[in-house]
């Protein structure tokens, strides 16, 4: 399967095509598309957003089986981890509300988010709120422990 994107400006059809082919073919296809993007020195597809502000990284988390390989590939190619959509929803919000324990665990263990992971969306809800609301007790516990460690680390830095 070959995907040719001839547009030089970031339009939603590029975003849609990238997401569609990434999901259809998986990380190998996404890697190929990204390598073509680098080779032609065009603006990167990895941070294109649709009208709602969703990027491929955020969009890749919706559904029942997101690929940690695809997410890691997007991050390795410069995906903006701290990007929020127009509702203020970020990667940790989506992973928590969709019940993706492996991805929440990866993001927390890698300490990739910093304070951006604890921000509240436009409705005033945190990732922990979504985990609790959806009944994802294990994710709620992981988030609670990580947030507690973050606060503890901040207190220690202030006292130093």
Which among 45, 80, 115 is the end of a domain?
80
- The separation between CA 32 and the C-alpha centre of its own chain, rounded to angstroms, equals 20
pLDDT at 43 over 60: no
Domain extent at residue 133: 89-160
For the chain, what is the mean pLDDT?
75
pLDDT value of position 142: 93
Phi/psi at 97 (5° precision) = -75, -20
The terminus-to-terminus CA distance of the chain in angstroms comes to 57
- The enclosing domain of 109 has a CATH number of 1.25.40.20
Judge if 66 and 98 occupy the same domain: no
Rounded CA separation 44/24 (Å): 20
pTM here is 0.74
pLDDT value of position 140: 95
pLDDT tens-digit map of 74-96? 888 888 888 899 999 999 999 99
pLDDT at 47 over 70: yes
Judge if 31 and 68 occupy the same domain: yes
pLDDT tens-digit map of 120-145? 999 999 999 999 999 999 999 999 98
Which among 60, 80, 100 is the end of a domain?
80
pLDDT value of position 146: 87
pLDDT value of position 116: 60
pLDDT at 15 over 80: no
Residue 119 contacts residue 84 (beta carbons within 8 Å): yes
């Amino acid at each position: 399967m070959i995907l040719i994107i001839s547009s030089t400006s970031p339009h939603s059809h590029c975003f849609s095509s990238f997401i569609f082919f990434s999901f259809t073919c998986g990380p190998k296809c996404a890697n190929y598309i990204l390598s073509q993007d680098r080779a032609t020195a065009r603006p990167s597809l990895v941070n294109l957003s649709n009208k709602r502000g969703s990027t491929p990284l955020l969009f890749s988390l919706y559904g029942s089986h997101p690929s940690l390989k695809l997410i890691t590939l997007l991050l390795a190619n410069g995906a903006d981890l701290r990007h929020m959509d127009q509702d203020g929803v970020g990667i940790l919000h989506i992973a928590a509300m969709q019940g993706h324990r492996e991805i929440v665990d990866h993001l927390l263990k890698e300490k990739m988010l910093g304070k951006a992971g604890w921000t509240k969306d436009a409705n005033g809800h945190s990732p922990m709120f979504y985990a609790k609301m959806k009944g994802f007790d294990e994710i709620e516990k992981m988030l609670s422990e990580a947030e507690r460690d973050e606060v503890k680390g901040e207190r220690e830095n202030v006292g130093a």
